[in-house]
Amino acid sequence: MENYKFRVIIEQDEDGMFVATVPELKGCHTQAKTLDTLIKRTKEAVELYLDYQKDTANLGRMSFVGLQEIEVRA
């Protein structure tokens, strides 16, 4: 087994739920009421993702650059 590190984007929705997204793993996301639970669920989601899609995952193909918040008028 190999160890992998992934960056996780954590946001909070309008209902107060925490939402985690793993950008390197398309469609890999989860949510929880607390940050502790969110981290546990995120690790589980990544493990499941890798179990079923390791051959097609973009492991190591993307590198984190940063986050930028922008404002637009619409």
Q: What is the pLDDT of residues 4-20, one digit of tens each?
A: 888 999 999 999 999 99
Under CATH, which number does the domain 9-53 receive? 3.30.160.250
In angstroms, how far is CA 53 from the centroid of its own chain?
A: 15
Mean pLDDT of the chain: 88
One-letter amino acid of 32 = A
Task: For residue 69, count other CB atoms closer than 10 A to its CB.
Answer: 4
Annotated domain spans of the chain: 9-53
pTM of the model: 0.79
61: confidence class by pLDDT, cuts 50, 70, 90: low
C-alpha–C-alpha distance, residues 73 and 20, integer Å? 27
Residue 58 predicted with pLDDT over 90: no
